[in-house]
Amino acid sequence: MSDDEDYMSLKFLEEAQEFESKRKETTYSERRKKQIREQEKKGYIKPRAQLEAEERQKGLERSMDESNKGMKMLMKMGFKKGMSLGTDGIREPIKVDLKSGRGGIGMESELKKRAREQEEEEERERKRTAIDPEDFRSVMAQRMKESKLVRYLTAAVSICEKLDEENNVEFNILWILKPVQKEPEEQKADEEGQEEKQQKEEEEIDSSYPPEEVEELKSLTTEQQLRKILEYLRNNYLYCFWCSAKYENKSDLDDNCPGLEEDDH
C-alpha cells in the first residue's frame, strides 16, 4: 500500500485480513489440516510403518522360489521344490514370529496370559451380573434345601446305626448313605486313624452286598435316601425321626405319630 492511500480504505482492510489468514495458517493445526486435505485430493498415503509391515507380511507368506539364493544353493545340492529336509523334515521355512515392543523374552506370552485371564474374569463377571434374580433365588433355595437334607440324613443314619447295634445287626447297607463330613486340614490330620477305620468299615459293607445294589442306593437323590432311612426306622424299630421317639407298637405309632413326612409334623 502506498503512502498516499488512506489507512481507512478497503484495500488496507483486505491486506490486513490476508495477512491475518496467512498468520493463522502457520500454526501446526492449520498446516496439518491443509496436509490432510491435500492427501485426500491426491489419494490416501499410508504411513511408512504400515507399508513396511504389509511388505514384511507379504514376504513371510510367500514361498521360496528359484530366485531365492538359499533355494539356488539347495537345488545345486540336489534339492527339489516340494521335498523335505531330511526323512521327516519340514517342507517350508520356519515362520517368523515378530516380537513387538521392548519387553524381554517371555514377556509377550506373559502379557497374553494376563489378557486371557482378564477376559475369563470379565466373562465370569458378565455371567454373574446377567443371572436372573428369580433364577438366583431358586438356586440359593435349592442349595439351602440340599444342605438341610444332608444334615437330616447324617442324623438319621447315626440313629439307624445305634438302633442296629442295639439289636446286634452287624451290617446294614443303609449305613453307606452317611454323608462324608468335610473338615479342616488340621482336624483331618488329627483324625486320620479314624478315617481309615471308617473307610475299612465302608469297604466291608460294600463287599457284603451286591455291587449293583450298592450303586443303585448311592445313585438316589439325598431326599430319596433320607426317605429310605426313615421308612426303615419306622418299619423295623417303630421309630419316628421327626417325633424323635420310639413307639411301643404299630398301633401306638399310627395313633400318635402324624406321619412319615416332615410337613405332617
Q: What is the pLDDT of residue 203?
A: 57
With respect to residue 67, please indicate whether it lies within any of the assigned structural domains.
no
Query: Cα–Cα distance between 90 and 109 in angstroms, integer?
Result: 25
Confidence of residue 195 (pLDDT cuts 50, 70, 90): low
- pLDDT band of 170, cuts 50, 70, 90: confident
- Contact call for residues 229 and 160 (beta carbons, < 8 A): yes
pLDDT in the model for residue 230: 92
Is residue 1's pLDDT more than 60?
Answer: no
Q: Is residue 260 part of a domain?
A: yes
Nearest-5° Cα angle at 107, 106 to 112: 100
pTM value > 0.85: no
Q: Radius of gyration of the chain from Cα atoms?
A: 43
How confident is the model at residue 257, as a pLDDT? 87
Q: What is the band of 196 on the pLDDT scale with cuts at 50, 70, 90?
A: low
Note the pLDDT tens digit of each residue in 115-154.
889 999 888 877 776 666 777 788 888 889 999 999 999 9
DSSP 188-253: HHHTHHHHHHHHHHHHHHHHHS-HHHHHHHHTS-HHHHHHHHHHHHHHHH-EETTTTEE-SSHHHH
pLDDT of 149 reads: 92
In the block, residue with C-alpha cell 423295623: 236
DSSP 8-class letter at 27: S
Per the model's pLDDT, the better-predicted residue between 170 and 130 turns out to be 170
Residue 105 placed within a domain: no
Q: For residue 183, is pLDDT > 80?
A: no
pLDDT digits (tens, 9 = 90+) for 53-112: 888 888 777 777 777 888 888 888 888 777 777 777 777 777 777 666 677 777 777 778
Closest by CA to 205, choosing from 193, 218, 188, is 218
Indicate whether 184 pLDDT > 70. Answer: no
Residue 170 belongs to some domain of the structure:
yes
Return the pLDDT at 182.
Answer: 54
Secondary structure class of 53 (helix, strand, coil)? helix
**pLDDT reported for residue 12:** 65
pLDDT of residue 200: 58
Q: Pick the residue with more confidence: 211 or 15?
A: 211
Q: What pLDDT shows up at residue 189?
A: 52
**Do the domain assignments include residue 228?**
yes
| pLDDT at residue 218 tops 70 | yes
| Residue 246 in domain | yes
Q: Which residue has the higher pLDDT, 150 or 23?
A: 150
The answer to the question of residue 153 being in a domain is: yes
Report pLDDT digits (tens) over 228-241. 999 999 999 999 99
Please provide the average confidence, as pLDDT, over all residues in the chain: 77
| Domain membership of residue 210 as a residue range | 138-181+194-264
Number of domains the chain is built from: 1
Residue bearing the bigger pLDDT, 245 or 110:
245
Q: Are 239 and 163 in contact (CB under 8 A)?
A: yes
In a domain, 189, yes or no: no
